[in-house]
Structure 1
Amino acid sequence: MMERYPDIEVYIASVSHDTLNAWLAETLLAAPLSPAGKGKWKTRGIYQGGDVPVLLVENVADGFASLWFDSANTPWMTDQECAQHAAEALQTEIRCSLGGWHPGADPDRFWQVLPGGKEGAIEWPDSGR
C-alpha cells in the first residue's frame, strides 16, 4: 500500500484566483484565499473533519505558483495524485516532485501533468533556457 505524504505541494501554471477558489471550495470546503504577504495567499479547508491549512505562493519558478496543503489529511495520498486531479479540475499544467524528498534525491526532476491526462517526468527548471 502506498504511504500517505505528510503534506502535499504542487506547482500551478497560470490560473485565476476565482477558478482556484472554486476548486478549493469544492474539494476542501475552503473559504476564498486571503492575502498573507507579498505574493502569498492562504485559506483553510476541511477534509473528513480535519483541518487543512493551504498556502499559495505566486511566481515561485517560471511563472508557476506553489500550492501547499500543510496536512496529511487531504483527498490525495501523494503530490502526483493531487497534480492529476488539479490539472483536470483547473484545466492547466501542474507540476510536482517525483516523490517524497530524501537526501540524495535529484531536486530538478519533476512530474508534469497536463489537462487531458498527458503526464511524464521532466527536468525543471529547464537548464536549456
Structure 2
Amino acid sequence: MMEPYPDIEIYLAQASHDALNAWLGDRLKAPPLSPAGKQRWRTQGQYNGHSVPILLVEKAADGYASLWFDSPHMPWHTDQEAAQEAAEVLQSEVRCSLGGWHPGADPDRFWQVLPGGKEGAIHWPDSGR
C-alpha cells in the first residue's frame, strides 16, 4: 500500500464556494468555508476519525486558487488523486505538483487535469518551453 502524502495541495481554475462546500462537506464532512483573511478561507474536515484542516487561498498562482489539505489522513494518497476527483466533481481544470520536490527536480512541472479525464504534464507558469 502506498504511503499517503503528509499534505495535499491542488490548484483550481475556478473555485465556486457553493461547489467546494458541497464537495468538502460530502467527502470530508467539512462545514462551509469561513473567511480567514484577505482572499483566504478555512474549514476543518474529518476523515476516518482524523481532523483535516483545509485552507483555500484565492488567486494564489496565475489566478488559480490553492486548496490545501494539511493532514496525512485523507481519501487520496497523492495530489494527483485529489486533482482527478476535484476536476470531475467541480467540472473545472485542476493542477497539482508532479510529486515531492527533490534536488534536480523541475519546479515548473505540474500535472493538469481537465473535466472528462484528459490529463498530462505541463510547465507552469508557461515559460515558453
C-alpha distance after superposition, 1:15-43 (max 9, x if no partner): 31011100000010000000111010000
After the TM superposition, which residues 46-85 of structure 1 pair with which residues of structure 2 at under 5 Å, given as runs?
46-85=46-85
Q: Which residue of 1 aligns with 2:94?
A: 94
Q: For structure 2, which runs of at least 5 residues remain unmatched after alignment? A: none
C-alpha distance after superposition, 1:23-69 (max 9, x if no partner): 00001000000011101000000001100000000101121000000
Q: Distance in 2 between matches of 1:104 and 1:32?
A: 40
Q: Distance in 1 between matches of 2:36 and 2:126?
A: 30
**Does the Cα contact within 8 Å between 2:15 and 2:65 map onto a contact in 1?**
no
Q: Which residue of 1 aligns with 2:108?
A: 108
Q: Distance in 1 between matches of 2:103 and 2:29?
A: 35
Deviant stretches of 4+, over 4 Å: none
Q: Distance in 1 between matches of 2:54 and 2:104?
A: 28
In the superposition, the TM-score normalised over structure 1's length comes to 0.96
The offset of 1:100, in angstroms, is 1.3
Q: Which residue of 1 aligns with 2:18?
A: 18
Q: Distance in 1 between matches of 2:96 and 2:77?
A: 13
Q: Report the AA paired with residue 104 of structure 1.
A: G
Q: SS of the residue aligned with 1:106?
A: coil
Q: Distance in 1 between matches of 2:15 and 2:57?
A: 13
Q: Distance in 2 between matches of 1:70 and 1:102?
A: 20
Question: Aligned-pair RMSD on alpha carbons?
Answer: 0.9
User: Structure 1 stretch 45-54 or stretch 102-111: which is displaced more?
Assistant: 102-111
- What percentage of aligned pairs have identical amino acids? 74
Q: Which residue of 2 aligns with 1:122?
A: 122
**How many residue pairs are counted as aligned between the two chains?**
128
Q: For structure 1, which runs of at least 5 residues remain unmatched after alignment? A: none
User: Structure 1 stretch 45-54 or stretch 98-107: which is displaced more?
Assistant: 98-107
